[in-house]
Amino acid sequence: MTAFALVDGNSFYCSCERVFDPRLEKRPVIVLSNNDGCAVARTNEAKALGIRMGHPYFQIKDLCRREGVVALSSNYALYGDMSRRLNQIYDRFSPDVEIYSIDESFIDVSRLPVKDRTTWAKDLRSTVKQWSGIPTCVGIGPTKTLAKLANKVAKKLADGVLDLSGSTERERVMADFPIGDVWGIGPANQAKLAAMGIQFAGQVRDLEPRQARQLMTVVGERLVHELNGRSCLPLETVPPVRQGCAVTRSFGQRVTRKPEMEQAVAGYATRLGEKLRRHGLATDQVTVFMHTSRFDDDEPQRSVSMTVDLPEATNDTLTLIKASRRAVDQLWKSGYRYAKAGIVTQDLVPPSGSQQALFDGLDHERAARVMQALDEANKRWGRATVFPAAMGIKREAFSTKFEMRTPRYTTRWDELPECR
């Protein structure tokens, strides 16, 4: 019988901040998305004030001031390092760990006797708290879907651990577990199920697999099996090959001039090239998009995109910039206040696996050497020490806003936390 544990950090980003600034301990804290757009992490105190996940910051600014909510910009250097530490601790508790997201990991506990699983989870939880300062919850079940479900319920329990290995306990919990909180049921399927009078996980479990398939494709059929304790989703300890890659950003200020847009998009192309090279992948097409903000509802709206095909798969920054520039040329129209732009690629391939273009081929070797030098310089002296001039010299206009970011406490010598 398979068994999985799902461990996740409670209000993970906020908890990371609290480890290094203990004054945040009793206060409501929220962490904002890129460009301080909306709340992406909230402590319980902030949730109690009615701040929702994804709540736009400009809507809650006054509330935050009034109630003393500490709003912070995302500090990904810190969260990434803390996540790495958490997974190092999990590795001591099991050889089979799948890092699912920055704050969630699945751990295979099949070989652990059922009677020992709760004690094991409590040990893991207290070790993580002691070593890293991050509070976590652990849910255990015979399938990933049930481990997720157990974790959701564990969040409300005093000891933060729930083992649903036993079928009696499972049935009891699923009887009133809302379908909207089941892993894999999105708003669309939730609406479909609700229309049939299905509100709780237990009712989804009792669906005929074939009926679930008609309703929600294979995903629905798999879901019914998973809720019945038949595991369909194995542990993925090796990350799957990336299908696509995207670099998209909201602008710090609206962009109204074409050169600014060209520079911003050149910056995204540069970042895309870095990402592709790091993963040893390449792409043979890029899609560039740009749009205005729906929050500027008294202004003209525009949302456009364009795909440019490359003669052959590449991860060369300069080629990617050239292609994305062509797209900006075609897409650009003045008179709009653009709020966001980005580059998206699909069907990534290893650079060697691509068909070499017969004509118009790229000079691979030279390009690869330039890119290697670029990557090494930026690795040594920090991101964007060396960058293509196409990105422009003054980049504040579209650079990401991190006005309320805390120090990068664990990755920079000059930003270490301070003590008296």
Partner 1 sequence: MDLTTAIADHRMPVPVSSLIQLSVPLVGQTVHAGFPSPADDFIEDMIDLNQVLVQNPTATFLWRVVGDCMIDVKIFPGDVVIVDRSLAPKHRSIVLAIIDGEPTLKRLHRRGGVFVLQNENAKLPPFLISEGTEVSVWGVVTATIRDLKK
Residue ranges binding partner 1 (CB under 8 A): 22-23, 25, 77, 81, 84-85, 88-89, 130-133, 380-382, 408-414, 416-420
Q: Which is nearer to partner 1, 82 or 174 (CB)?
A: 82
Give the span between the Cα atoms of 28 and 278, in whole angstroms. 38
Q: Which is nearer to partner 1, 240 or 382 (CB)?
A: 382
Alpha-carbon separation of residue 122 from 2, 4, 18, 135, 162 (angstroms): 20, 15, 22, 12, 10
How many CA atoms within 13 Å lie on the side-chain side of 190?
A: 11
Give bridge partners of residue 161 from the DSSP assignment. 138
Helix segments in 11-75, DSSP class H: 12-20, 44-48, 57-67
Structure-block tokens of residue 292:
């205005």
Determine contact, residues 122/130, Cβ cutoff 8 Å: no
Residue of 91, 183, 203 whose CA lies nearest to 143:
183
Structure-block tokens of residue 187:
């708003």
Q: Sign of torsion, CA 362 363 364 366?
A: negative
Q: Which is nearer to partner 1, 218 or 373 (CB)?
A: 373
Determine contact, residues 37/80, Cβ cutoff 8 Å: no
Q: Which is nearer to partner 1, 131 or 295 (CB)?
A: 131
Strands (E), 185-278: 245-255
Shortest CB 385 distance to partner 1, Å: 8
Structure-block tokens of residue 22:
């203990």
Q: Which is nearer to partner 1, 359 or 413 (CB)?
A: 413
Give the span between the Cα atoms of 139 and 117, in whole angstroms. 10
Q: Which is nearer to partner 1, 309 or 414 (CB)?
A: 414
Strands (E), 12-102: 29-32, 39-42, 70-73, 97-101
| 85 Cβ contact list (under 8 Å, min separation 6) | 131, 132
Q: Which is nearer to partner 1, 129 or 275 (CB)?
A: 129
Q: Which is nearer to partner 1, 194 or 386 (CB)?
A: 386
Determine contact, residues 320/314, Cβ cutoff 8 Å: yes
Shortest CB 274 distance to partner 1, Å: 16
Q: Which is nearer to partner 1, 155 or 412 (CB)?
A: 412
Shortest CB 419 distance to partner 1, Å: 4
Q: For residue 110, which amino acid is it?
A: S
Shortest CB 374 distance to partner 1, Å: 17
Shortest CB 92 distance to partner 1, Å: 8
Shortest CB 74 distance to partner 1, Å: 17
Shortest CB 380 distance to partner 1, Å: 8
Shortest CB 77 distance to partner 1, Å: 8
Shortest CB 81 distance to partner 1, Å: 6
Give bridge partners of residue 309 from the DSSP assignment. 285
